[in-house]
Amino acid sequence: MLSHVTLGVSNIPAAMAFYDAALAPLGIIRRYTFDDSLGYALAGGPEDGPAQLWVMHPFNGQPPHAGNGWHVALVAPSRAAVDAFHAAALAHGGISEGAPGVRPLYHPEYYAAYVRDPEGNKLQAVNHGSQHNVI
């Protein structure tokens, strides 16, 4: 259903360090690097394939800002990957918005962690358990 998601940042080198580290445990790699943007995709796809997550300077040239009512949820292949995502994000300037754990409010196997990147964008890694994950 989605082609890609774009997150606005002001500091590309800092964003690269954060996203490279935080997304690696989820099997997501940086596929494109430009002066004003970074493109991420699942590892194992075609080298020239599309990026599904773009981290970039806003097109309008204005300072980026994060909203308080949205976030990007990324599928994690395991609970250990959720844990590693959270740890890597915090080690690279992220702020915890919810430590790794089960969120039975959504369903009994919903295991997730929430972080904000150094710019304030909210990210989630979620593992739905063996019956629910789709990658």
* 94-103: pLDDT as tens digits: 999 999 999 9
pLDDT in tens, 98-123: 999 999 999 999 999 999 999 999 99
Say if CB 115 and CB 122 are below 8 A apart. Answer: yes
Position 67 confidence tier, pLDDT thresholds 50, 70, 90: confident
Say if CB 118 and CB 64 are below 8 A apart. Answer: no
Is 133 a member of any domain?
Answer: no
Is 132 a member of any domain?
Answer: no
Say if CB 74 and CB 42 are below 8 A apart. Answer: no
Q: Which of 55, 48, 51, 50 is nearest to 18 (CA)?
A: 55
Distance between CA atoms of residues 85 and 109, nearest Å? 18
pLDDT top residue among 2 and 128: 128
Is 37 a member of any domain?
Answer: yes
Residue ranges making up the domain that contains 9: 5-127
Please state the rounded mean pLDDT for residues 61-81: 88
Is 82 a member of any domain?
Answer: yes
Is 134 a member of any domain?
Answer: no
- What number of other Cβ atoms are within 10 A of residue 126's Cβ? 20
Q: What confidence score (pLDDT) does residue 135 get? A: 47
**pLDDT of 22 above 90:** yes
**pLDDT of 62 above 70:** yes
**Please, what is the average pLDDT of the chain?**
92
Q: Which amino acid is at 3?
A: S
Is 51 a member of any domain?
Answer: yes
SS3 95: strand
Please state the rounded mean pLDDT for residues 26-43: 96
CATH of the domain at 108: 3.10.180.10
- What number of other Cβ atoms are within 10 A of residue 106's Cβ? 13
H/E stretch holding 16? helix 12-23
Distance between CA atoms of residues 20 and 22, nearest Å? 6
Q: What confidence score (pLDDT) does residue 132 get? A: 61
Please state the rounded mean pLDDT for residues 55-62: 90
Distance between CA atoms of residues 88 and 92, nearest Å? 6
Say if CB 36 and CB 21 are below 8 A apart. Answer: no
| pTM score of the predicted model | 0.88
Is 55 a member of any domain?
Answer: yes
Looking at the structure of the chain, the number of domains it has is: 1
Q: What confidence score (pLDDT) does residue 65 get? A: 84
Is 98 a member of any domain?
Answer: yes
